[in-house]
Amino acid sequence: MTAGSEIPATGDDVDRIVAAWQRERPDLDVEPLHVLSRISRIAKEHARMRATAFATHGLDGWEFDVLAALRRAGAPYELSPGQLVAETLVTSGTMTTRVDRLIERGFVQRRPDPRDRRGVLVQLTPTGQDVVDSALHSLLDHEQALIASLDPKDRTVLPRILRELLLASAEATAR
């Protein structure tokens, strides 16, 4: 769309917003809004969808994140608290509280690290494995439905484009 252009018949809210900015500020290049405003809106909707998928299994998002990190680690499904911090991007104090709550629910257990007498490992219990596997299945069902409308070729190209954008974003943030 160019300055002063109309919203396409297949337009969305972002098209309306971009058209308004083009009308009000024709001196600015608002092209990034076409991509980044949509990513932002998709992220908000996806967060709601994740919350719903996890709630059906009695989980909060943070619980799924910790359990999923342990499940992805492979048998025997255990990580050190430091590894969990790195996987979930929270502080060590936050992780301690989260592990305590997951122990109370029977989803994880602490055990001594056989390689480090002072260390501990957090291990997924069979109950924790069952709940994370079920929640993952629900999440993937929701996510498959979300991308089902995309052309198969677009589903192949879009991850590459988004990866490039994510890497550029991380690089810009690091500067």
44 and 103 in a single domain? The answer is: no
Could you tell me if residue 88 is inside a domain?
Answer: yes
Q: Are 74 and 124 in contact (CB under 8 A)?
A: no
pLDDT at position 12 over 80: yes
Could you tell me if residue 165 is inside a domain?
Answer: yes
Q: What is the mean pLDDT of residues 66-75?
A: 97
- In this predicted structure, what is the pLDDT of residue 2? 47
Confidence of residue 1 (pLDDT cuts 50, 70, 90): very low
Could you tell me if residue 37 is inside a domain?
Answer: yes
126 and 62 in a single domain? The answer is: yes
pLDDT at position 79 over 60: yes
74 and 142 in a single domain? The answer is: yes
pLDDT at position 100 over 60: yes
Could you tell me if residue 3 is inside a domain?
Answer: no
96 and 142 in a single domain? The answer is: yes
113 and 140 in a single domain? The answer is: yes
Q: What percent of the chain has pLDDT over 90?
A: 86
pLDDT at position 23 over 60: yes
Could you tell me if residue 107 is inside a domain?
Answer: yes
104 and 175 in a single domain? The answer is: yes
pLDDT at position 10 over 90: no
CA dist 64 and 54 (Å) reads 7
Residue 160 structural domain:
58-175
113 and 172 in a single domain? The answer is: yes
Average pLDDT value for the chain: 92
Q: Whole-prediction pTM value?
A: 0.82
104 and 174 in a single domain? The answer is: yes
Q: Which CATH number fits the domain that encloses residue 111?
A: 1.10.10.10
Could you tell me if residue 125 is inside a domain?
Answer: yes
50 and 25 in a single domain? The answer is: yes
Instruction: Report the domain count for the chain.
Output: 2
**What is the per-residue pLDDT across 110-137, written as a single tens digit (0 to 9) for each?**
999 999 889 999 999 999 999 999 999 9
Could you tell me if residue 133 is inside a domain?
Answer: yes
- In this predicted structure, what is the pLDDT of residue 150? 94
29 and 109 in a single domain? The answer is: no
105 and 153 in a single domain? The answer is: yes
Q: What percent of the chain has pLDDT over 70?
A: 95
- In this predicted structure, what is the pLDDT of residue 7? 63
Which carries the bigger pLDDT value, residue 81 or residue 175? 81
pLDDT at position 175 over 60: yes
42 and 66 in a single domain? The answer is: no
Could you tell me if residue 142 is inside a domain?
Answer: yes
Residues in the chain: 175
Confidence of residue 8 (pLDDT cuts 50, 70, 90): low
